[in-house]
Structure 1
Amino acid sequence: MTIHPHSTWIIWALMSAVFAALTAIFAKIGVANINSDLATFIRTVVILVVLASILAARGLFQPLNSITPRTYLFLALSGLATGASWICYFRALQLGDAARVAPVDKLSVVLVAIFGVTFLNEELRLANWLGIALIATGVVLVAWR
């Protein structure tokens, strides 16, 4: 079976889902006896070291002046949003069940669809919107006590 190069995104997305699930489980155990903000900091340091190692090993660093100010702006905004998300996520894991926190966190899928259509002019079909509605419904059902 040959996988079309434009279809490999689904493999990466599925691997992302697996690692995100493991993140929730490992983080829930990891925040049991530590401040959630300190836990987020430790996690971030690990990510920095791993990514720096990957970039160095693959020779993918590039001159900082070759990156446009617009790129820096949006990557900085993305970093701030990521940091805020992680801080909130770790605090939620400290207070709630991983099996309920992680699905609520994935409400971001619904928001990305709305933001993508609103701000990036992406188009979704009726079937896509039905899927988004089902995800939102699933989040409510999972979060419900």
Structure 2
Amino acid sequence: MKSLVTSWQVWAFASAGFAALTAIFAKIGVENVNSDFATFIRTLVILFLAGGILWFGGQWQPLASISMRSYLFLMLSGMATGASWLCYFRALQLGDAARVAPVDKLSVVFVAVLGALLLGETLSLLNWLGVLLIAGGAVLVALKA
């Protein structure tokens, strides 16, 4: 049996749980705070948390051991993350967390499409049905009834 520590499913489920807490905590936190400044505070917390994990886990890596290609794509990923967080916090400031978070999770749909187009990943018909259901569910939750 696969160890829980090495199971991507366990880590993905934990990520979803923490993402849910992120939405709730952020919605409360952006009250009376500029959403961009709130994103800055969040980023500082993440920087210190990630740094602490690396430090105490002895996982620091020489900067020269990372390829230029990896640096490029990690920087692009960081810029996309920053843009996503800025947009997410602004959306939370303006809308209900219960509606903002599902629309934000349309990223799952975008990843499936981009993964297929840009990375050559393949999904079965059943997988694509799931992607369509995620898209439809996000739209239905976002609607103001």
Both structures adopt the same fold (TM-score exceeding 0.5): yes
Residue in 1 aligned with 2:48? Answer: 49
How much does 1:3 deviate?
A: 3.3
Q: How far does the alpha carbon of each residue in 1:111-131 deviate from its partner, in whole angstroms, 9 at most, with x for none?
A: 000000000000000000000
Residue in 2 aligned with 1:98? Answer: 97
How much does 1:5 deviate?
A: 6.8
Give the counterpart letter for 2:62 in structure 1.
Answer: P
CA distance in structure 2 between the aligned counterparts of 1:5 and 1:49, rounded to whole angstroms: 26
Give the counterpart letter for 1:78 in structure 2.
Answer: S
Residue in 2 aligned with 1:33? Answer: 32
How much does 1:66 deviate?
A: 1.1
CA distance in structure 2 between the aligned counterparts of 1:5 and 1:88, rounded to whole angstroms: 33
CA distance in structure 1 between the aligned counterparts of 2:92 and 2:124, rounded to whole angstroms: 34
CA distance in structure 2 between the aligned counterparts of 1:43 and 1:117, rounded to whole angstroms: 32
Q: How far does the alpha carbon of each residue in 1:83-118 deviate from its partner, in whole angstroms, 9 at most, with x for none?
A: 000000000000000000000000000000000000
Which structure 2 residues correspond to residues 130-145 of structure 1 after superposition, within 5 A? 130-145=129-144
Give the counterpart letter for 2:47 in structure 1.
Answer: L
Residue in 1 aligned with 2:88? Answer: 89
Is the CA contact 2:112–2:131 (under 8 Å) kept in the aligned structure 1?
yes
CA distance in structure 1 between the aligned counterparts of 2:51 and 2:125, rounded to whole angstroms: 42
CA distance in structure 2 between the aligned counterparts of 1:34 and 1:98, rounded to whole angstroms: 16
Q: How far does the alpha carbon of each residue in 1:46-65 deviate from its partner, in whole angstroms, 9 at most, with x for none?
A: 00000000000011111111
Is the CA contact 2:4–2:10 (under 8 Å) kept in the aligned structure 1?
no
SS at match of 1:103: helix
Structure 2: gaps of 5 or more residues: none
CA distance in structure 2 between the aligned counterparts of 1:57 and 1:140, rounded to whole angstroms: 42
SS at match of 1:122: coil
Identity %: 66
TM-score between the two structures when normalised by the length of structure 1: 0.96
Give the counterpart letter for 1:46 in structure 2.
Answer: V
Count of residues in Structure 1 that have an aligned counterpart in Structure 2: 144
Distance 1:52 1:4, change over 3 A: closer
